[in-house]
Each structure stands twice: as structure tokens, then as C-alpha cells.
Amino acid sequence: MSKILKPKDIPEEEFILSGTRACSGCGLSLAYRFALKALGKNTIITVPASCSTVLHGMYPCAAVNLPMLNTAFESTGASASGIRAALNILGKKDITVLAWAGDGGTTDIGIQSLSGAAERGTDIIYACYDNEAYMNTGTQRSGSTPFGAYTTTTPSGKKQRRKNMPKIMAAHGIPYVATANAVYPIDLFQKFRRAKDEFKGDTRYIHIFSPCPPGWGFEPQDLIKIGKLGTETGIWDLYEIINGKFTLNNITMKIVQGKIKRKPVVDYFRAQKRFNTLSNNAIRRIQEEIDKKFQEYENSFA
Amino acid sequence: MEKNKYKPWRSIPDDIRFEDLPTCPLAISDKGSIGNTGEWRTFRPVINKEKCTKCMTCWTYCPEGVIYEDNDELFIDYTYCKGCLICYSECPVNAIEKVREEI
Ligand SMILES: Cc1ncc(C[n+]2csc(CCOP(=O)(O)OP(=O)(O)O)c2C)c(N)n1
Ligand code: SF4
Ligand code: SF4
Ligand code: SF4
Ligand SMILES: [Mg+2]
């Protein structure tokens, strides 16, 4: 990745006007704040039913200072395609169209409209902020809820694997796929800038790990710690897939290069109430899988 | 109220009829779309200006974007700061204190 920016390099203008409905200590709010700073004011957003709809506020008042369309839960990809088509007819090709959806809206109900948009190579940036459940409706499991996590529909912990959505999007052959983490906002900013500036004209996809205090069971003031543990333990890796080429970045790359020591996954699991039912045996198995994944990374990148 | 002319909800009088709202549901953005979220706080983060090195870590991590710089000094907008205390736990030099709110 290009030069790492500092807070002073980030534009001061805030597009999310404070006093929103999002919970205190919300990861999605932090990620959204930096994503919008990166895209700037020449942007139109479309958002399906989710915590982001709540954040945006209720008619006739809105919390975000950019044009935004509320769309139906399943149709974010189609909605963004429609906005793009209308802008193209009006000759406004320079406007960025951002589709901003949750993990339920992306990996479950919205996957077909997104897949269609990506297959058409529609000129949009699609971002999925992943709080790993249906949070707006009170924490039900999604296709992106990890193994072992408590939700109201998985009371003894989810028994299935999660979907690997960024890899599904990469399989569409789109030029830019990246993962980000809400608690590394500057890395996230750079990825949105790169998607906007370097890959305009095609579909770009960014998947953001977004810790959620009430849904995951931790104190709002621990947001940054929990989010960082996600990457430092190797649960949530930071990477980009540019024209099919996979590269690790930021902390994940430093771990693989041996510059930072990877933390044990138990630190991540035991810091959140949603993994209370996950047994020590299961944690040991997950640790083995992560070790194997990092062995493969080391073979390719170290 | 002038017919079909938008007004933010806080300034819509009680006797306004539904028909008077604009036909196209266009919302207008403003701070405090849910009111003064500062009222959510149990603890108030207070920056110790003597200790603060202006590293902007708190500014970066604040999910609400309520920390701002003015004349080379950092301030918190307490009207909207939700009191999550992320700034308090992340300040590298412990320049932020938490003070219990009282009614
Ligand atoms: C077709 C349809 N089914 C169900 C709902 C109810 N609903 C609204 S938001 C939501 C959950 C959204 O979850 P996710 O996409 O993960 O976003 P989050 O709330 O976690 O931000 C559901 C089930 C709906 N609005 N439309
Ligand atoms: S439920 Fe979670 S993602 Fe939704 S607003 Fe609250 S903290 Fe944010
Ligand atoms: S994190 Fe602490 S030292 Fe840095 S700017 Fe904020 S208050 Fe000052
Ligand atoms: S307590 Fe939370 S909302 Fe208030 S200034 Fe600190 S980080 Fe921002
Ligand atoms: Mg979700």
C-alpha cells in the first residue's frame, strides 16, 4: 500500500452530523465517518434496511450531509445500478455511487442484486460493514455470523461456518476487493480513496469488520481494543485483491513478516460475551486453523 | 407554514397537517437528528489541556466526530458527545479524565 497517512492528512469535514441514533461506541459509525471523508461530497449513497438506516434518521430529519436513498433490504445492488444509470444518462459520470449495507443485507438477502451489479461491472463502490449479525432488529444470526457466536437465533452459539464474502466478490473478477477494520480508520480511508481514484468505471467491493458493543457484549469504551484484537489474533485479516492479485496489508502483513507477534485467539473470544458458550476445545481447534492459515501466508509472503 | 415548503421537524408547529408536508419525502440534514445525544452520558470525558500532546488519537477514534481543534486547542462538543469513553481509553498519555455526570 502507498504511504501510511496520519490523522492530520485526513480531511476535517464531517459528513455525519453529530447527534445520530447510532449506539454509543458504534463501530459502524466510526467506519462510515472515515469512508465518507475519503469519498467526499461528490457522492450519492444508497442504504438498505439496517442500523445505517437508523443512523441516517427519520423523515423529515437526516443525520448525513450527502444525498442518500433508503432502499429495500434485498435491492442495494440494483438500487446502486439504477442511480448509476440515471447519472450516466444525465452525463454526471464523475459522481461516486456508494452502496452501504450491513452483513445481513449483503451476504444473505442482497447477494443476488449485488452479484448482478458486479457481473455487469457497474460503476459503483459497494461497502459491507460487517457487525456479524442482524443488529438493527436485535441480533439475529446472518450468513456472516462466525462459528460459536451467540445471537437470539443461535442461543447456544452458531453451529455453522460463516461465508467468506470478500472471496465471493473476488470470484466475480472485479478489479478491486479489500477488507478493512473499523478500528483502523486510516487504513480504511486509504482503501476507499484507492477504490474511488484508481478503479473508477468498474465495481469495487470493500468488506469492513465493524465491532458492535451491544450485539457482541462488550463495553463501548473497549471498541478499539476488541477491533484490534480481531486483526492481531488473525481472525480478521487485512488484504486487497487488485486485478486478481492478493496482497496482505497493515498489521496482518507485519504479523506475517514477523514484525508483530500474533496474539492467541482466546484473547479475542474471552473479551466478548457472545462467545461465552464457545468451549476451550473449540477455541483450540480455531487456533489450529488460524495457525495453518498463517503458515500459508508465510509461505507466500514472508 | 407555507404550503409544501420543507421545515425541519423541530420547527414544525403542532397544528401542521400531514397534507402540508412536501409530496416527495426529502429529509434535510442537521445536527441532533435524534436530539441532544449528550444526555446519554453517564461519564463526561474531560481533556487535560496541560497533558494533551495534540496527537489526534482521540479525534481519530471518536465515532461521533465531536472532538475538534480550534486555535491549536482540542475541544469536545458536549451537546452531542455520547460518553462512550473511547477517547478516554485510547489517549496514549492519559490526558482525558472521566467525570460522573450529575443532574
Ligand atoms: C424484506 C425485509 N425483511 C426483513 C426486514 C427487517 N429488517 C430490517 S433491518 C434488518 C437487519 C439488517 O441486518 P444487517 O444487514 O446485518 O444490518 P445491521 O442492522 O446489522 O446494521 C432486518 C431483518 C426488512 N426491512 N425487509
Ligand atoms: S447495534 Fe451495533 S452496529 Fe447497530 S448502531 Fe448499535 S453499536 Fe452500531
Ligand atoms: S489522544 Fe490524548 S494526547 Fe492525543 S490529542 Fe487526544 S487528548 Fe490529546
Ligand atoms: S466519549 Fe465518545 S463520543 Fe464523547 S468525545 Fe469521547 S469518543 Fe467521542
Ligand atoms: Mg449486521
Task: Dig out the grid coordinates for B15 from the structure.
Answer: 397544528
B24 in a domain, yes or no? Answer: no
Q: What percent of chain B has pLDDT over 70?
A: 80
| Residue B11 pLDDT exceeds 70 | no
**Interatomic CA distance for residues A144 and A161, integer angstroms:** 8
Ligand nearest to the CA of A210: 2
**Interatomic CA distance for residues B88 and B82, integer angstroms:** 13
> What is the predicted pLDDT for the residue at B20?
72
Task: Dig out the grid coordinates for A235 from the structure.
Answer: 481472525
Span A80-90, average pLDDT: 98
Containing domain of residue B86, as a range?
31-100
Question: Considering only CA atoms, which residue is closest to atom 8 of ligand 4?
Answer: B62
Please indicate whether, in this complex, the C-beta atoms of B8 and A60 are within 8 angstroms of each other: yes
**Interatomic CA distance for residues A275 and A133, integer angstroms:** 14
Q: Smallest CA–CA separation between A190 and chain B, in Å?
A: 14
| Residue A19 pLDDT exceeds 90 | yes
Supply the pTM of this predicted model: 0.95
* Residue A112 CB coordination number (10 Å): 12
Assess if CATH 3.40.50.970 describes domain A12-301.
Answer: yes
Assess contact for A105 and A49: CB atoms under 8 A.
yes
Query: What are the residues whose beta carbon lies below 5 Å from ligand 5 (ion)?
Result: A 102-103, 131, 135
The alpha carbon of B92 and the centre of ligand 3 are apart by a number of angstroms equal to 7
Q: What is the CATH number of the domain that holds B85?
A: 3.30.70.20
Residue range A33-75, pLDDT digits in tens: 999 999 999 999 999 999 999 999 988 789 999 999 999 999 9
Assess contact for A12 and B29: CB atoms under 8 A.
no
* Residue A87 CB coordination number (10 Å): 17
The alpha carbon of A73 and the centre of ligand 5 are apart by a number of angstroms equal to 12
* Residue A26 CB coordination number (10 Å): 29
Residue range A162-210, pLDDT digits in tens: 999 999 999 999 999 999 999 999 999 999 999 999 999 999 999 999 9
> What is the predicted pLDDT for the residue at B10?
53
Domain count, chain B: 1
pLDDT band for position B13 (cuts 50, 70, 90): low
> What is the predicted pLDDT for the residue at A83?
98
Q: Smallest CA–CA separation between A27 and chain B, in Å?
A: 7
